[in-house]
Amino acid sequence: MNRFVYTVLIFLSLPFALLRILLRDAKNSNWIRKLKNQLGFVPKIPGKVIWLHCVSVGEFNAAKPLIDMIFINFPLHQIVISTTTITGSEAVEKYYKSQVIHCFFPFDVPFIVSSFLKKIKPVACILLETEIWPNLITKLKHKNIPVMLVNARLSKKSYKKYKKFSPKLINMTLNNLSLICSQNESSSKRLISLGATNNNIITTGSLKFDSNEPNNSETIQALKNITGDRKIVVFASTRKGEEFQIIKSYLKLKSKFNALLIIVPRHPERFNEVFSMANETGLNVKRRSLGGHCEQDTDILIGDSMGEMMSYLNISDIAFIGGSLTNNGGQNMLEAASLSKPIIFGPSVFNFEEISKRLLDDGSAIQVRNAEELMKTISELLLDDEKRRLIGESAKTTFENNRGATTKIFNAIAPHIKNI
């Protein structure tokens, strides 16, 4: 696939993308702004703009230490942060308030990208993780605007797709990047194999190890008031299909559980769906959003609230990381590790292969093959306080021993901004 074919396909997909915004986001007051921004309609932004793009909340949280460092060292520049999701935009605006300008990321269609760039006029663009957009990167290159991919990662699955379907396009795109800061050696090797040159790629480690989300004592106390003094197992960022497996396996072992299960779906639009499914099993199910106290016979609390994941993890005795029983590649395990929690995840962790391997090698996590094994492992851990403590402490040590990516990345990107 060349860039022309790619552009035609992206253009043809626009009606479906617009329909998705209407179906998913129309209930949110920001949906019209999102639609306009993604079509290239953004206000003109004065000054020297450093533009950072984070897909959603997870990427933004990981990037915060880097953004803070950019603020300190480039105080005369205007920081613009784009996200793809509305939840991401809310996280940006809540954390930085008026210190930054937020906008939604444009569709990767040439005329839309041109309109977007004409308004914000960045002097540098920093993309996070897997955000490789051929038309945007090509436009920035043609305008001599440094464009850097940081905290970059490339799974085996994504590597094979690029290699099979668009080897020329990805080769050209990677060569148009000014700099790539990769999370690990495996990703660096794959990116080089796809066409990145050795002299513009460095391995810095993951920003996620440097993320240090503050504890919200008010929220933590509110959750404790709801959950009471029982042991708690949090199922964090679960994906479609996982909740059914979890609940089905729980029903088989329910008599062995003296704990409250908190299920926190990754996507807010699925809160009602997950609650209804759990409720239909005959289990005693409550919702965080409705408040109230969980009784001793409450089986499940649905964590249907936004921005409280760290608080859910904080009160947990065991943390299961979602997206790993289904073929979604897992979610960030390091939030739980930073809180010294024993971590469990399923077989699908291709988005976090290096991090998961490190945790497993250090005895900081347990990997299970399926939901039945997950529930059996949880039931055993609930009876072994010492084992939970040791795994949790090991997870915290792994987290602390791998910090430092923020400084390495900043030192790499700073010359590209200073030379403007």
Would residue 121 be called left, alpha or beta, if left means φ above 0 and alpha means ψ between -120 and 50 degrees?
left
| Helix (H) or strand (E) run with residue 418 in it | helix 405-418
Task: Name the token pair of 412.
Answer: 């790499």
| 59 included as an active-site residue | yes
Question: Could you give the strand order of the β-sheet that contains 259-265, starting from the edge strand earlier in sequence?
Answer: 285-287, 300-302, 259-265, 231-238, 318-321, 343-345, 365-367
Distance (Å, whole) CA 332 – CA 366: 15
Task: Name the token pair of 413.
Answer: 């990107």
Residue with tokens 């605007």: 145
Neighbours of 350 (CB within 10 A): 17
Q: Are 344 and 249 in contact (CB under 8 A)?
A: no
**Cα dihedral sign, 263-328-55-26:** negative
Catalytic-role residue among 59, 308, 335, 353? 59
**How is residue 341 annotated by DSSP?**
-
Instruction: Please name every residue paired with 49 in a beta bridge, in sequence order, or none if there are none.
Output: 78, 122
DSSP code string of 80-147: EEEESSHHHHHHHHHHHGGGSEEEEPPPS-HHHHHHHHHHH-EEEEEEETT---HHHHHHHHHTT--E
Q: Where are the beta strands (DSSP E) in 176-317?
A: 179-182, 201-203, 231-238, 259-265, 285-287, 300-302
Q: Where are the beta strands (DSSP E) in 223-367?
A: 231-238, 259-265, 285-287, 300-302, 318-321, 343-345, 365-367
Q: Which residues are catalytic?
A: 59
